[in-house]
Chain A
Amino acid sequence: MEKRVTFKGWLLPLCLIAPQVFISAVFFFYPAGQAVWQSLFIPDPFGLSSQFVGLGNFEYLLGDPYYRASFVTTAVFSTLVTLASMIPALFLAVMADRLVKSAGTYRTLLIWPYAVAPAVAGVLWMFMFNTRVGVVSWYLGQLGYDWNHVLNGTEAMGLVVAASAWGRISYNFLFFFAALQAVPRSIIEAAAIDGARFWRRFFTIVLPLLSPTTFFLLVVNIVYAFFETFGVIHTITAGGPQQSTTILVYKVFSDGFVSQDLGSSAAQSVILLVVVGLLTVLQFKYIEKRVHY
């Protein structure tokens, strides 16, 4: 879509767009270019010179069992976060949608966690499950379950998933709720007159109508799990135990800043760029579809 009416001149618009272009160039494109460039080199240990290795860093990464494990970890993590945040959210939204009068109150109560930073969420959950002082872990101990996410990789994964999904439930709830409210009442009524009972109506009519929202949230939540959960992992497990919660973004950080392995970190950045690119394309496919929906 374009405006039919425009103002004349080219100097003024260039000045208007300059700040954003400048900041994008300095803080986005230059660093992204640097990432691509650095990914082709291995610096010597003193950082004085570097050796061109072509795709060597990528070759090494793809052969590295730790990196491949990190891919699997990320896949498991993001799948679990997406499911654990979307299913409860849909369930809550369906219930809230039926409580016409009090739906607003519940919504107000439920949007809180959205405002809580992932890193703070991590601290809260780490506190609940802390092996020494955690309330939940203590009660689990009373029930005979010895919770220890510091040593047990599965429990660690469960905890970072729960902490990451927690704030996201609010976000997904808002979208599902808005989408449910937008389902025309007449369609529901027609289905009711056709004799469909509640769950039947939900699965045959409401859920299909929600599919654009569901697809959108799917993509957005995967992006979230990939890139925005760093704070949760850093505060709760720092990637451990034995790298069992080291997702790709965390590995870029730990290899680049902790181990100072710049070539590898840059190559990982480039791989992540490709992943983000694919996810963005997916998101835009969705937007295009939505136009026709």
Chain B
Amino acid sequence: MAREITGMVERRGLGLWLTHLGMIAGVLVIFFPIWLAFVASTVTQPEIVRPPMPLWPGDQLIENYTAALFSGVNVPVLSMLGNSLIMAVGIAVGKIIISLTSAFAIVYFRFPGRNMFFWLIFLTLMLPVEVRIVPTYEVIAGFGMLNSYQGLIFPLVASATATFLFRQFFLTVPDELAEAARVDGASPMQFFRDILLPMSRTNIAALFVILFIYGWNQYLWPLLITTDPSMNTIVMGIRQMFPSGDDVADWPVIMATSILAMIPPVVVVISMQKLFIRGLVDSEK
């Protein structure tokens, strides 16, 4: 690799150590909020409310997490985790399926209204849920989908980004493959299933990671449409755990919940790092 012979432009000696030091300092600063939350989730309430709280983990880890998972404040965190999982997976899978099929239709067919549909989908890029919350809420309420998984998932399922990513990818698939499939006698759907889908595997996986995090981290939408605590998702549920008025918050449990809310997306990101970075850089371009 060319990198091996670039000693000249690479830092050595003192400079190298300073750079490492800088990086480590950066990492520590970035990590500090998470560390503090973790520490808070392993100590007792009195230790926190008598500042300064310790900066090293205590021995209450199991107690606090058990309390959070099985009793929580309003509802057990376990149920919120379940709701989040259903919502995140529902959004990711739903988006991937409808994006795959619509991108296939747009790229591989010429049909009446194709351009119009293309632009309709394209326009949804410009409409984040945040700017149309009131009318969207009314639609969901009209369908009777408040406090339901459908209500949590459907409005967030249609998004142009995934469709565009697949469209870009399909356009790079050589024309000859579709021709070879036609000569082999494959129908459009057989081509889609046997050739296009297997070839899109890495794209699908990368997109799944990104969409899973997107769905998991939703806040405003679940806040609006889940009035029943049993339908709360974990990310929005944390805020609901703070007492109103002057009561003291149950910090260890709240912080344990925060850590629990981070674990699934962090695990997904770290374990699928390569795919995720590729997907991110591709999809945002």
Q: Which of B86-111 contact A (CB under 8 A)?
A: 97-99, 101-102, 104-111
Given contacts A116-B265, A252-B131, A276-B131, contact A166 B30 (CB under 8 A): yes
CB-based contact A7/B266 at 8 Å:
no
Bound: A276/B123 CA distance, A:
11
Q: Nearest-CB distance from A258 to chain B (Å)?
A: 11
CB-based contact B273/A111 at 8 Å:
yes
Question: Contacts of B32 on A, CB cut-off 8 Å?
Answer: 128
The contact string, 1 if C-beta is below 8 Å from chain B, for chain A 272-287, is 1100110010000001
Question: Contacts of B188 on A, CB cut-off 8 Å?
Answer: 7, 9, 12
Question: Contacts of A230 on B, CB cut-off 8 Å?
Answer: 130, 219-220
Q: Which of A1-29 contact B (CB under 8 A)?
A: 1, 3-7, 9-10, 12-14, 16-17, 19-21, 23-29
Question: Contacts of B105 on A, CB cut-off 8 Å?
Answer: 12-14, 16-17
Given contacts A96-B23, A119-B219, A234-B219, contact A20 B30 (CB under 8 A): no
Given contacts A24-B121, A175-B281, A189-B8, contact A7 B163 (CB under 8 A): no
Among candidates A6, A100, A113, residue contacting B34 with C-beta atoms closer than 8 Å: A113
Question: Contacts of B6 on A, CB cut-off 8 Å?
Answer: 185, 188-189
Count A-B contacts at CB 8 Å: 311
Q: Which of A239-271 contact B (CB under 8 A)?
A: 249, 252-253, 256-257, 262, 265-266, 269
Q: Nearest-CB distance from A80 to chain B (Å)?
A: 17
Bound: A273/B126 CA distance, A:
7
CB-based contact B101/A16 at 8 Å:
yes
CB-based contact A112/B51 at 8 Å:
no
Size class of A's contact patch? 35 or more
Bound: A211/B248 CA distance, A:
49
Binds B, one of A52-60, A70-78, A132-140, A149-157: A132-140
CB-based contact A123/B112 at 8 Å:
no
Q: Which of B203-220 contact A (CB under 8 A)?
A: 213, 216-220
Q: Which of A167-198 contact B (CB under 8 A)?
A: 169-171, 174-175, 178, 185-186, 188-189, 192
Question: Contacts of A99 on B, CB cut-off 8 Å?
Answer: 16, 19-20, 23
Tell whether B78 is near chain A: CB-to-CB under 8 Å: no
Bound: A120/B10 CA distance, A:
39
Interface core residue of A27, A120, A127, A128 (most chain B CB under 10 Å): A120
Given contacts A13-B109, A16-B104, contact A227 B130 (CB under 8 A): yes
Question: Contacts of A27 on B, CB cut-off 8 Å?
Answer: 136, 139, 154-155, 157-158
Tell whether B175 is near chain A: CB-to-CB under 8 Å: yes
Interface core residue of A32, A115, A201 (most chain B CB under 10 Å): A115
The contact string, 1 if C-beta is below 8 Å from chain A, for chain B 8-44, is 1111000010011011001100111110110010000
Tell whether B171 is near chain A: CB-to-CB under 8 Å: yes
CB-based contact A120/B281 at 8 Å:
no
Q: Nearest-CB distance from B123 to chain A (Å)?
A: 8
Given contacts A28-B158, A128-B36, A235-B239, contact A19 B98 (CB under 8 A): yes
CB-based contact A7/B109 at 8 Å:
yes
Tell whether B125 is near chain A: CB-to-CB under 8 Å: yes
Question: Contacts of A30 on B, CB cut-off 8 Å?
Answer: 135, 139
Bound: A231/B178 CA distance, A:
46
Among candidates B8, B26, B127, residue contacting A95 with C-beta atoms closer than 8 Å: B26
CB-based contact A262/B126 at 8 Å:
no
Smallest CB-CB separation from B269: which chain A residue?
Answer: A115
Q: Nearest-CB distance from B201 to chain A (Å)?
A: 20
Smallest CB-CB separation from B100: which chain A residue?
Answer: A16
Given contacts A178-B281, A188-B9, contact A252 B121 (CB under 8 A): no
Among candidates A20, A95, A123, A188, residue contacting B99 with C-beta atoms closer than 8 Å: A20
Tell whether B165 is near chain A: CB-to-CB under 8 Å: no
CB-based contact B27/A20 at 8 Å:
no
CB-based contact A124/B133 at 8 Å:
no
Given contacts A102-B20, A119-B219, contact A174 B120 (CB under 8 A): no
Given contacts A170-B30, A252-B130, contact A139 B52 (CB under 8 A): yes
* Interchain Cβ contacts under 8 Å between A and B, 18 examples: A4-B175, A12-B189, A13-B109, A16-B102, A24-B120, A27-B155, A35-B132, A102-B20, A112-B269, A117-B219, A124-B33, A124-B36, A174-B277, A216-B285, A228-B128, A228-B130, A253-B220, A265-B134
Q: Assuming A252-B130, A253-B133, what are 12 further A-B pairs, CB within 8 angstroms?
A: A7-B108, A27-B155, A38-B135, A92-B26, A99-B16, A112-B270, A123-B254, A132-B51, A133-B53, A234-B239, A257-B224, A272-B131
